[in-house]
Amino acid sequence: MERAMYFLDQKDMPTHWYNIIPDLPEPLPPLVHPATKEPLPKEGPLPPPLFTDSVNKQEFSQERYIEIPDEVLEAYRTYRPTVLHRAFRLEKALDTPAKIFYKYEGTSQAGSHKPNTAIAQAYYAKKEGVKRLTTETGAGQWGSALAFGCAFFGLECKVYMVRVSYNQKPYRRILMETWGAQAVPSPSPDTEVGRRFLAENPEHTGSLGIAISEACEDAYANDDTKYTIGSVVNHVLLHQTIIGEETRKQMEMADAYPDIIVGCIGGGSNFAGQFLPWIRDKLSGKKPDMRIICVEPYAAPTLTKGPYAWDYGDIAGLAPIVRMYTLGHDFIPPPVHAGGLRYHGMAPIICHLYKLGFVEAQAVHQVATFEAGVTFARTEGIITAPEPCHDLRVAIDEALKCKESGESKTILIAHSGHGHFDLAAYDEYLSGRLQDYEYPEEKVKEALKNLPEVPAF
């Protein structure tokens, strides 16, 4: 009998994260200082001291494999290795010759891949004597993961949560508070940036860009405090490569190799964590025809509609300027349920690989993603978060293409988490109330007017 689940023994868990930077065919563009507009030195560090020293070093590291500290491995062992599944029941329902695998990150304590970096960042903060971490969160997945990481290492944690989610989605706020973090709605009266936006509009519903600015300002203002981010930057993608490193071993157990890898991208961390350990085979020419498909919502079509430009990571210009595909730092996303996919920019590493033609991008509509999520629930059983429902849509479409062509491709899905706190979205879908949103082309053009001017260098 063929196996439906591939377990990796804890003693065989990878001991290193994989750093793509030395293997990139061309170097990444530099980061640019938000105030001086000068490029930062390639070897770092980031100014001013926003992050812990350890992750600041990792951000620019040229080391191919970076050892995972023992304390981090020990924390990982409370939920890792995660299982690689073969989706036999989905394959059968689709009547496809494709082999579908999914690596499932929903079994972590926070229900997603995000603890993989939250634990690492909290550990380094503890080691460096930092007392308190700040961050932003949209729907609350990252905030809850960081709250969990801080609980593990005994740190204080303050989370600036986009106000509309704070009001509409209490469950992840309650998770944060249960793990001992403080969550406030952003814009908040606690920072200058927050007070500025509240003065303009006391009912401001907030955005990730504003919440990032608040969390950065808080970290600058307090010596015992560092800022953390849950996606986008190099060191977060690095920590997430534990996913792909495990999957490589598990696919070997299954005697399989992916022809297509699909994943959703918000800032790009879960998907990069899966595909970076594979893309080295594409870059080296060992598997040149491997397809890596980044999936995003039509409501926030960063790669598929945004230009490749210099832009701020946040709304107040406190975070560095990066070269990325962007919808503009003042992007206010339409209210789709995939809260994790609504950031205006994208991980520079993914943007660079997309620009060079090594990864593809596809946009999908919300209703179609939930249709895929329901098919998955009724076959594989898992209630999928709205974000990875995007992967399921594209994976199902690719499997159906195999049915037409008769090809037996191997499809690997980067399944980033469960949707137990997103049942209201399923309810809207099931009752026929769910709508599609397409971000208008004019708005993409309009946002470009506010991009920072970076001199050529």
What's the min distance (Å) between Cβ of 110 and ligand PLP?
Answer: 8
Applying CB under 6 A, does 268 fall inside the site for ligand PLP? Answer: yes
Identity of the residue, 269 or 326, whose beta carbon is nearer to ligand PLP in the bound complex: 269
**Stretch of 3-11, 38-46, 153-161, 258-266 lying at the interface with ligand PLP (CB under 6 A):** 258-266
Angle at 243 between CA 266 and CA 144, to 5 degrees: 55
What's the min distance (Å) between Cβ of 176 and ligand PLP?
Answer: 14
Identity of the residue, 341 or 411, whose beta carbon is nearer to ligand PLP in the bound complex: 341
For residue 450, the 8-state DSSP code is: T
3-state SS record for 84-134: EEECHHHHHHHCCCCEEEEEECCCCCCCECCHHHHHHHHHHHHHCCCCEEE
Start-to-end Cα distance in the chain: 60
Q: Which of 258, 266, 297, 373 binds ligand PLP (CB under 6 A)?
A: 266
Question: For residue 349, which phi and psi values (nearest 5 degrees)?
Answer: -65, -45
- The CA distance from 414 to 243, in Å, is 9
CB atoms within 10 A of CB 289: 7
Q: Which of 149, 219, 417, 422 binds ligand PLP (CB under 6 A)?
A: 417
**Residues 380/87, Cβ–Cβ less than 8 Å:** yes
Q: Which of 108, 137, 250, 269 binds ligand PLP (CB under 6 A)?
A: 269
CB atoms within 10 A of CB 206: 25
**Residues 361/298, Cβ–Cβ less than 8 Å:** no
Applying CB under 6 A, does 270 fall inside the site for ligand PLP? Answer: yes
- Near ligand PLP in 111-150, by CB under 6 A: 112, 114, 141-142
Identity of the residue, 295 or 434, whose beta carbon is nearer to ligand PLP in the bound complex: 295
Applying CB under 6 A, does 264 fall inside the site for ligand PLP? Answer: yes
Q: Single out the residue of 111, 113, 383, 121 nearest to residue 274, CA to CA.
A: 113
What's the min distance (Å) between Cβ of 111 and ligand PLP?
Answer: 7
What's the min distance (Å) between Cβ of 142 and ligand PLP?
Answer: 6
- Near ligand PLP in 201-240, by CB under 6 A: 231
Identity of the residue, 112 or 191, whose beta carbon is nearer to ligand PLP in the bound complex: 112
Identity of the residue, 394 or 402, whose beta carbon is nearer to ligand PLP in the bound complex: 394
Q: Which of 187, 244, 320, 340 binds ligand PLP (CB under 6 A)?
A: 340
What's the min distance (Å) between Cβ of 239 and ligand PLP?
Answer: 11
Q: Single out the residue of 422, 346, 433 nearest to residue 388, CA to CA.
A: 422
What's the min distance (Å) between Cβ of 405 and ligand PLP?
Answer: 30
Q: In angstroms, what CA-CA distances link 199 with 187, 196, 202, 267, 268? A: 10, 5, 6, 29, 33
Give the tokens for residue 101. Answer: 């695998």
**Stretch of 58-66, 125-133, 268-276, 404-412 lying at the interface with ligand PLP (CB under 6 A):** 268-276
Question: What is the enclosing helix (H) or strand (E) of 411?
Answer: strand 410-415
Question: What is the enclosing helix (H) or strand (E) of 4?
Answer: none
Identity of the residue, 181 or 402, whose beta carbon is nearer to ligand PLP in the bound complex: 181
**Residues 373/384, Cβ–Cβ less than 8 Å:** yes
What's the min distance (Å) between Cβ of 231 and ligand PLP?
Answer: 3
Q: Single out the residue of 356, 339, 345 nearest to residue 320, CA to CA.
A: 345
- Near ligand PLP in 377-416, by CB under 6 A: 385, 387-388, 416
Q: Interface with ligand PLP by CB under 6 A: which residues?
A: 112, 114, 141-142, 231, 264-270, 340-341, 385, 387-388, 416-417
